[in-house]
Amino acid sequence: MVPIEDRKAGLQGVIVIHSTRLGPAGGGCRLWSYPTMAEATDDGMRLAAGMSYKNALAGLPLGGGKAVLRKPDGDFCRQALFEAFGLAVERLGGRYVTAEDVGTSVADMALVSRRTGHVAGLARRANRPGGDPSPHTARGVFLAMRCAVERRLGRSLGDVTVAVQGLGHVGYELCRLLHAEGARLIVAEPRSDVAARAAVEFGAEVAGTGSIVDAAADVFAPCAMGGVLDSRSVPRLKASVVCGAANNQLADPALGALLADRGVLYAPDYLVNAGGIINVAAEYLGWATAEVDERIAAIPARLAEVLDRAERTERPTGDVADEMAREVLSGAPVTALQ
């Protein structure tokens, strides 16, 4: 864990490197209004661990890391903040590779790139991976959801109702894909104008942010912040499938057993939302666009493998995914990093 601070630039946060066993620690930079640094650090620790597991299951030559920055109160200079952050990344000498996450953008990463080369999510060049990774994340979740729905309900996405919590870049794109497939949508989003746009564009029903978990839906897709599934919300859940883009959806890993006991198929979040980091890895490592498409297309097969093992061993899917990720990590040779 590396605390970072530049008061003049408005920078305060932490870079967490969880593992470099498979390669440099890859994970995005989150800018959020954390009330305290302790809360920012706790979030960074959880997110970085998730990135280690995500990258391992996705077969990427990357370890796990995350940067979480406290959003300054009031107006601030994004250029100063992200250039200062870029210097912090550069000081790590390639041990950490950053990209977009919640609250950050392609433009922000361009500012970071002024101070370090250990950054992806930059403007896309012709026929090369790059740009906003959100559509790739949404695509992976969509494909995984199709697999989970067929597995649990024996139906197609065009025959189900999906409750999507959060209409950020990923959530909105997921709605676009689901709408094109014929799914009925229920959405929740604190920005009323965005929710209204989804209602018009996708014919979506709009629910309250606090009541979306109660929606009469076949699938619940958390696409906002983590921890939405806790001891109070899980008993209220009406959906038979949980498959979404948010990280750390379970407030406590033990809740995976409660979901399983209730007959809910939980698609492990870091497995299904790996499309974005796949695109980031391809950009940073110089892979072709076709490689991105092939790796994202393989997400449902990895999910099916997790579901098969979970059925055989009668264990929660999240526990099985963790086990499989640890198998990858423990079997890998230690990567030498400068």
pLDDT in tens, 146-164: 999 999 999 999 999 999 9
Q: What is the pLDDT of residue 333?
A: 54
CB neighbourhood size of 76 (10 A):
13
Q: What is the pLDDT of residue 127?
A: 74
For 161-183, the pLDDT digits (tens) are: 999 999 999 999 999 999 999 99
Q: What is the pLDDT of residue 334?
A: 46
CA distance 101 to 133: 9
With 0-12 CB in 10 A as exposed, 13-18 as middle and 19+ as buried, what is 74?
Answer: exposed
Q: What is the pLDDT of residue 226?
A: 85
Q: What is the pLDDT of residue 225?
A: 84
Tell me the three state secondary structure of residue 56: helix
For 107-137, the pLDDT digits (tens) are: 999 999 999 999 999 988 777 898 889 999 9
Q: What is the pLDDT of residue 336?
A: 43
For 191-217, the pLDDT digits (tens) are: 999 999 999 999 999 999 889 999 999
Q: What is the pLDDT of residue 337?
A: 42
Stretch 315-337: mean pLDDT, rounded? 82
- Out of 54, 66, 71, 238, the active site residue is 66
For 61-75, the pLDDT digits (tens) are: 999 999 999 999 999
Stretch 36-65: mean pLDDT, rounded? 95
CA distance 224 to 246: 5
Active-site annotation holds for 8: no
Q: What is the pLDDT of residue 126?
A: 73
Please check the confidence at residue 81 and state whether its pLDDT lies above 70: yes
CA distance 187 to 207: 6
For 218-251, the pLDDT digits (tens) are: 999 999 988 899 999 999 999 999 999 999 999 9
Stretch 99-105: mean pLDDT, rounded? 93
| pLDDT mean across residues, the chain | 94
